[in-house]
Amino acid sequence: MHIKIERENRRGSTNYSTIIVVVVLILVVAGAYVYTRGLSPTEEIPETSEPQTSESEELEIPEFEITIVGADGHQVVIGAKDLAEMTVVEEVGGLMTSAGSINGPYTYTGVLLTDVLDLVGGITEENSLRITASDGYSMVFTWEEFSGNFVTFSAATGDEVEATKPLTPVLAYFEDGEPLIRGHGPIRLVILGEEGLISEGHFWIKQVAEIEVIPAIREYTLKLTGEASEVMDRATFESGANCPDTTPNHRGVYEDDDGGIWTGIPLWLLVGRIDDNVTHTANAYNRVLADAGAYTVQVIAGDGYTVELNSSFVKLNQNILLANELDGQALPDKYWPLRLVGSDLPKDQMVRNVAEVKLVFNENVTLPVVEPDVPDFELTLVGATTEVMDKTLFLSGVSCSDHYKEWTDASGNVWKGIPVWLLVGRVDDGNTHGADAFNRTLAEAGYQVSFVAGDGFHKELDSALIAENDNILVAYLYNGEPLPEKGPLRVVGEGLTSGQMVGMLERIEIVSSP
Amino acid sequence: MTQMNRPQVAAVIIIVAVTAAGVAYFLLNEASEPEAEPQKLKIFCAGSLLYPLNKVADAFMDDHPGIEVEVEGHGSIQVIRHPTELDDPADLLMVADYSLIPVMMYGAPLPEGGGNFTDWYIRFAGNKLVLAYTDQSMYSDEVNATNWYNVLAKEDVKIALANPIIDALGYRGLLVLQLAEYHYGEPMIFDEILGPRFDPEIETVEVGSRTVIFVPEEFNPVEDKVAVRASSIQIVPLLESGAVDYTFLYLSNAEQYGVKYIELPDEIDLGSPEMDGLYARAQVRFQHARFQSIGLDRRGATIYYGLTIPGNAANPEAAAEFTRYLLDGRGREIFEENSHPIYQPSYTDNPEGVPEALRSLVIQEPGDG
């Protein structure tokens, strides 16, 4: 590796002849002055109790102003006088530019950054630190860096070496005992240590103008009020917004006119948590209620400002979202913690500082009965007689409340359909419909019921298992919607293995009778 | 003889001393100036150009004994900031992203007046990213152009990244990973390699037809898997020592450092102008404005190097001569020998603004009128 070791051009070019001449002149003039006064060099030195001081201590800290901002927003402006009252640090350090050149090491004099931050309440592991120069250049230090964990290099070779002692960020005002040169000072953030190691140059910030403690994550809650209610905390909201690979997509995105990218949760998904008692499944959002205009959606700011949206406008709309981030970061104070945004909203409806989403139900609305759009099918029942049920006939059976049953699986998904024993009862003997259609005597004697899929796959169940068992169904709805897979009909129910839950069901047959 | 009083004696001493000093000064300067001072040519360049440019500077000085060349490498944005914002003039600026020149210099007035820092650039070379490794890298015997992203995702593989906040190579590495998702149809490449390895995480968001990568203001790796350094200068030793297994480098630098590398598909290597439409599907947005003079967005685009001579260059004639040497002389050969070919001709957006000595070496940018 080609390492260029150089010293910064700090003092301009040196003309030794000029120096010699000036020194001679000074000596001669001083001698002449003494001679004319007729004094010996010690005669009039006043007595003093002041101790001898080093050259750097005699120099005054240059005037400057740096704004320090604490994690709570508290600000102080410090100057030379403030630094003069702090403990002086004198240690060694140097920097490596991104192109590999090494400057230093030099000895710097200054104060610990941590001492300065104590003026605004200090810094914790939850914070980071932003330091900005007068020209706008800024860098952010992590807690680890602030605590002295920097990548370090040997001053001699430029090779990366591990520091055995922590490095310290220092606000320096002298370099090798002299004020910093124009362009570097009056105050420069430097990284120093006992070992005189070199650190990455982008952390060495010239002309420091502002030091900000970046606040830790701020907590918030969002109140959701409707048929169900909940208070959602920040972590829950963020995990929802960042939920990967979900359908529908939990993340809403809106790009504003200035290119700002707002991300959050589409409002309709939040509404789905509170519009009925199904809070978080594929069918949590109740489309029937939304279509019927059963409620309006109020989005309410912390100060009470409220925007009201029609349920049909919000329905499945990915272009209306409650944003928790702008360009990947928590919202600025002006909008924090949440803002209603989206390409379908005018500016005056983009509520900032959102605290609550509330559904206001209209009790006068009559909900229509809307059947899910189940694909056509035929189910053949074979026993003592044979019957082919098409979708219409099957659903007419479902419409009879005694025939319509639900079963909830271990994951909370709700399956709806007709109990198997009612379907078998239509073909197990000549009695097809009525209270005695299911022949209990035959069932007690025992037979097998075969469930056959469209691809020929089949499984058999004992009559004893299905007899008058409302928890084993031929299901046609899953969480209120047509079956997402292995439909349109599937045998499901309590105690069945997944292998016994035959999907794509086309035929039910009594295969062995006593 | 009249006796002089003390003030009179002092005056005589001073007169004699001043006279003696003047004579001494004259004699000393006569003795120390046996020949004319050489002209100084100060060049700020992108770090990825340092290797061949130092060689060109040596050759140039051999061929031009009266000119002393000083080459100083920085990140490309810093290259421009030195003269425009840090009061550190240079004679020639060479950057790894030619578009920075108009953005940062065309509207920046010279401190001494008389116009802006420049109104022209010469786009003189390209580059592309490769995946660099060594024989001792994990899975070096099986990694190839089709499985490299699976290898990078393996838990026992360590990778190094240039810090995207500091170095264009860093954010270009992020763009390559995002473009790989599009090219290979694998939507988790970025997350599996980098996503959870930083605190805060590097978040990506699909916005319309593009994906935006948000680079947090704290670019803070939390696992040993990823090492972040300021630039390739600090990364290559890690690769050579075996501390990391893989890193993205510019092709020219990989060749110059003599490390092995895998060439990436044109669709993702940022080296093929015909793929610019695809490159633009990936975008980096910084959450922290390191510089006020440049925006927060870096869109995927073909890598082009650019140069210009600032309006306040102390030695613009020497800068032009050096540029000519680079574009059409021994410098051009040296760049070629070091795997970084120079365009012939090169391109400019403003032929009238280019120094007359260079005009025959450049043509108007395509589509620029």
Residue B115, domain CATH: 3.40.190.10
| Residue spans per domain, chain A | 5-37, 56-214, 221-361, 378-512
Q: Are residues B273 and B316 in the same domain?
A: no
Q: Mind telling me how many Å the CA of A22 is from chain B's nearest CA?
A: 8
pTM of the model: 0.67
Output the tens digit of pLDDT for each of chain B's 369 residues.
445 566 565 565 656 555 655 555 554 454 445 566 789 999 999 989 999 999 999 999 999 999 999 999 888 888 998 899 888 899 999 999 999 999 889 989 998 888 999 999 999 999 999 999 999 999 999 999 999 999 999 999 999 999 888 788 999 999 999 999 999 999 889 988 987 788 788 889 989 889 999 988 777 787 789 999 888 888 999 999 999 999 999 999 999 999 999 999 999 999 999 999 999 999 999 887 776 667 788 899 999 999 999 999 999 999 999 999 999 999 999 999 999 999 999 999 999 999 999 999 999 998 755
Q: Are residues B152 and B244 in the same domain?
A: yes
Residue A175: closest CA among A243, A121, A95:
A95
Q: Are residues B222 and B179 in the same domain?
A: yes
A160/B88 CB distance under 8 A? no
pLDDT of residue A400: 60
Which CATH number applies to A221-361?
Answer: 3.90.420.10
Backbone angles phi, psi at A141, to 5 degrees: -105, 130
Q: Mind telling me how many Å the CA of A213 is from chain B's nearest CA?
A: 13
- For residue A30, give the amino acid letter: A
Q: Is the pLDDT score of A38 beyond 60? A: no
Q: Are residues B165 and B200 in the same domain?
A: yes
Tell me which residue in A1, A18, A140 faces B237 most closely, judged by beta carbons: A1
Least confident range from A275-279, A365-369, A417-421: namely A365-369
Residue B180: closest CA among B304, B278, B271, B276:
B278
Tally of CB atoms within 10 A around B329: 17
Tell me which residue in A29, A182, A327 faces B14 most closely, judged by beta carbons: A29
E strands along A241-305, which residues? 252-255, 261-266, 295-301
Contacts of A329 in chain B (CB under 8 A): 214, 216, 287
Q: Are residues B91 and B136 in the same domain?
A: no
Least confident range from A72-86, A94-108, B48-62, B238-252: namely A94-108
Q: Is the pLDDT score of A513 beyond 80? A: no
DSSP assignment letter at B356: G
Among candidate residues B275, B299, B323, the one where a domain is terminated? B299
Residue in chain B lying closest to A95 (CA): B230
Q: CA B10, CA B143: separation in Å to the nearest integer?
A: 86
CATH among 3.40.50.1860, 3.40.50.10140, 3.90.420.10, 3.40.50.150 for A378-512: 3.90.420.10
Burial class (CB in 10 A: 0-12, 13-18, 19+), A290: buried
Parent domain of B293: 129-299
Produce one character per residue of A342-357: b if its CB has 16 or more CB atoms within 10 Å, e if not.
beebeeeebbbbbbbb
A17/B218 CB distance under 8 A? no
Q: CA A137, CA A390: separation in Å to the nearest integer?
A: 74
Higher pLDDT, A290 or A222: A222
Q: CA B348, CA B346: separation in Å to the nearest integer?
A: 7
Residue in chain A lying closest to B26 (CA): A17
Tell me which residue in B21, B206, B218 faces A128 most closely, judged by beta carbons: B218
What are the CB-based long-range contacts (under 8 Å, 24+) for A332-335? none
How confident is residue A40, by pLDDT bands cut at 50, 70 and 90? very low
Q: Are residues B58 and B119 in the same domain?
A: yes
Q: Is the pLDDT score of A8 beyond 60? A: no
pLDDT of residue A36: 41
How confident is residue A280, by pLDDT bands cut at 50, 70 and 90? low
CATH class of A56-214: alpha beta
Q: Is the pLDDT score of A10 beyond 80? A: no
A21/B25 CB distance under 8 A? yes
Higher pLDDT, A481 or B277: B277
**Is the C-alpha dihedral spanning A437, A443, A445, A449 positive or negative?**
positive
B29/A38 CB distance under 8 A? no
Contacts of A327 in chain B (CB under 8 A): 214, 285, 287, 296
- Mean pLDDT computed over A56-69: 83
Tell me which residue in A36, A140, A251 faces B6 most closely, judged by beta carbons: A36
Q: Are residues B243 and B135 in the same domain?
A: yes
Contacts of A243 in chain B (CB under 8 A): none
Contacts of A123 in chain B (CB under 8 A): none
Q: Mind telling me how many Å the CA of A36 is from chain B's nearest CA?
A: 5
Residue in chain B lying closest to A24 (CA): B21
Among candidate residues B299, B324, B343, the one where a domain is terminated? B299
Mutate to test the interface with B, among A33, A98, A139 (most CBs of B within 10 A): A98
Least confident range from A364-373, A378-387, A466-475, B13-22: namely B13-22
Q: Mind telling me how many Å the CA of A98 is from chain B's nearest CA?
A: 6
Largest CA distance in chain A: 145
Contacts of A263 in chain B (CB under 8 A): 205
Q: Is the pLDDT score of A371 beyond 90? A: no
Q: CA B294, CA B168: separation in Å to the nearest integer?
A: 13
A160/B238 CB distance under 8 A? yes
Q: Average pLDDT of chain A?
A: 83
B73/A101 CB distance under 8 A? yes
Contacts of B47 in chain A (CB under 8 A): 98-100
Whether the CB-CB separation of A294 and A314 falls below 8 Å is answered with no
Is B10 among the domain residues?
Answer: no
Is B197 among the domain residues?
Answer: yes
Is B210 among the domain residues?
Answer: yes
Summarize pLDDT for A439-455 with one digit per residue, the tens: 988 899 899 999 999 99
Could you tell me the two tokens for A438? 């299911």
Q: Are residues B88 and B118 in the same domain?
A: yes
Q: CA A473, CA A505: separation in Å to the nearest integer?
A: 12
Is B152 among the domain residues?
Answer: yes
Produce one character per residue of A97-127: b if its CB has 16 or more CB atoms within 10 Å, e if not.
bbbbbbbbbbbbbbbbbebbbebbeebeeeb
Residue A211: closest CA among A125, A110, A140, A121:
A140
Q: Are residues B285 and B315 in the same domain?
A: no
Q: What is the dihedral of CA A128, A130, A131, A136, to 10 degrees?
A: 170
- Mean pLDDT computed over A427-445: 85
Is B290 among the domain residues?
Answer: yes
Summarize pLDDT for A155-200 with one digit per residue, the tens: 988 888 989 988 999 999 999 999 998 778 899 999 999 999 999 8
Total residue count of chain B as it appears in this document:
369
Residue labelled with tokens 């439909």: A487
Contacts of B285 in chain A (CB under 8 A): 261, 327-328
ipTM of the complex as predicted: 0.71
Q: CA B317, CA B266: separation in Å to the nearest integer?
A: 39
Higher pLDDT, A401 or B62: B62
Q: Are residues B174 and B279 in the same domain?
A: yes
Q: Are residues B140 and B288 in the same domain?
A: yes
Looking at the 3D structure of chain B, how many domains does it have? 2
Produce one character per residue of A377-386: b if its CB has 16 or more CB atoms within 10 Å, e if not.
bebebbbeee
Q: Is the pLDDT score of A343 beyond 70? A: yes
